[in-house]
Amino acid sequence: MTIEVDLATPLRIADLRAARDPITVVAGPEVRDRVTASRVFLTKVLGDDRAVYGSTTGFGALVGYAGRADLRDQADNTLAHLGAGQGPDIALDVVRATMLIRARSLAQGASGVSPHVIDALVAMLGTTFTPAMPRLGSVGASGDLIPLGAAAQALRGRGHAYVDGERLPAAAALDRAGLEPLPLDGRDALALVNGTSLTTAALALALDRVRSSHRVIQLLTCLLADLLGCDPQFLDADLLDRFAHPGAIDVAATMRAVLSGVTKGKRPLQEPYSIRCSPQLLGAAEDALRYVDGVVTADLAGVSDNPIFEAAGDKVVHGGNFFGQPAAFAGDMLTMVIAQIGNLAERQLDLLVDPVRNNGLPPMLAAGPGQQHGMQGVQLASTALIAEIRRDSMPASMQSLPTNLHNQDVIPLGTQAALRAWDQAELLSLITGSLAVGLRQAVHVGSRTPTAPHTRTIFDALAAAVPPVDPDRPLDGDVRAAAGVLAKLEISLISDSYPSL
């Protein structure tokens, strides 16, 4: 069934997720009226000979010079110099989410765009047409100029685009998708590129992935505690109430529910921190994710353009709504969360394969140690994955350096922070998938079976997807399969405890 998204209302992360495939986007009378009114106001302003950045001026550091006299010519003046991006193309689901966010921003009627621009974005999102956007080139300061410039050019039939996943010259891609090249004047072109839509898309989709992994590691920590026979008092409600942090209180409540009915074993009084302190760690992550939730919600509701046209107040306001500092801080925070959740999962796997700490199960959970090696390769790979995340965790938001003849003398680098978090979120899911394979294997080599109903459900789902490692086999596919199973399972078990964006 095709998803329907109404541009009259703020977007949700679920809308962005759906946009990876063709979707029905509605731009009804309310949207059309306010976009048309904004465009009429722009015409009035230009008729009054008032200065409007990008319509009567050059761009960036060249704002002091007059732009081209013909506004249709000004589109080329806007876009041609932005064709400087490098690197691989950005993932198509991120690009399509970007275009949906841009459509919603423009649909709020504060950008002065032609109504046919909204129509073109709506039509594009109903097909598999996806602009080819270069990964490198944005500093997130005047929005995502270079990647969005490539998208605008693709809509005009220039550059490259994808249809049904195939990369083609943009003109051929438009033709195959049944779309017409998009005519733009200078204001239309600048409004398409002068915003943080790529940064917001990458951040929102990264948040979606990390939210899933955060819920998954709660499930896996509960399964680990059950298989080892841990005393569940580390989740005690009075204990966490004394801690006083809302995220930890809520995470512990969820984990207690998952472990309801568990039978205590004969473990030592105090578990290693990777179990005992898990509600405090994951609770702090929950608090951080709630901050990122707020940034994403605001970004999805806002207008990241310059200038802003306020017809009711007869104002053209020049400012910096395209400055992606909130997303830069949020992306860096998301990376810290990813690193610490990944570290927790990797350490829990290390505990599970260690016969000194795993109740005497075979080393590496090998069915025949020496003749077989069980989880040894998976543990090595998970250590490499967390090392990769940690190596690339330097905050982007503190790396400001001047550019554009010091017009952009401070920059947020939110695009880098958001795209990096999106990359790392995929690695995090592989680490949790690795732990899941280990937990499935632990029962095969002698751990007790789950004693709580919910942990039994988790284990049964894993056992159905991942056969025992006996004899050894390549496990890369099993790790991905386990990650996929858990991503579906967490929705049914605990996702109701969290915000729905």
- Pairwise CA distance, residues 303 & 143, whole Å: 11
**Residue at token pair 């003109």:** 171
- Pairwise CA distance, residues 226 & 265, whole Å: 8
Cβ 435 vs Cβ 351: under 8 Å: no
Cβ 483 vs Cβ 428: under 8 Å: no
Is 53 known to be catalytic?
yes
Strand runs labelled E in 264-402: 308-310, 315-317
DSSP character at residue 403: B
Amino acid occupying residue 255? M
Return the ∠ at Cα 95 (arms to 89 and 96), rounded to 5°. 145
- Pairwise CA distance, residues 149 & 193, whole Å: 6
- Pairwise CA distance, residues 483 & 435, whole Å: 9
Structure tokens belonging to residue 291: 């901050």
Structure tokens belonging to residue 240: 């966490």
* 315-317 and 308-310 strand pairing: antiparallel
- Pairwise CA distance, residues 11 & 308, whole Å: 20
Distances (CA, A) of 177 to 89, 129, 131, 157, 460: 20, 6, 12, 12, 44
Q: Give the closest residue to 334 by CA, choosing from 392, 273, 249, 376.
A: 392
Return the ∠ at Cα 456 (arms to 344 and 228), rounded to 5°. 50
Cβ 309 vs Cβ 318: under 8 Å: no
How buried is residue 126: exposed, middle or buried, by Cβ count under 10 Å (0-12/13-18/19+)? middle
Q: Following DSSP, what letter does each residue of 29-72 receive, concatenated?
A: HHHHHHHHHHHHHHHHHHHTT---TTTTB--GGGTTSB--SSHH
* 166-169 and 160-163 strand pairing: antiparallel
- Pairwise CA distance, residues 20 & 4, whole Å: 13
Q: Alpha-carbon torsion 79, 104, 214, 491, what sign?
A: negative
As annotated, the active-site residues are: 53
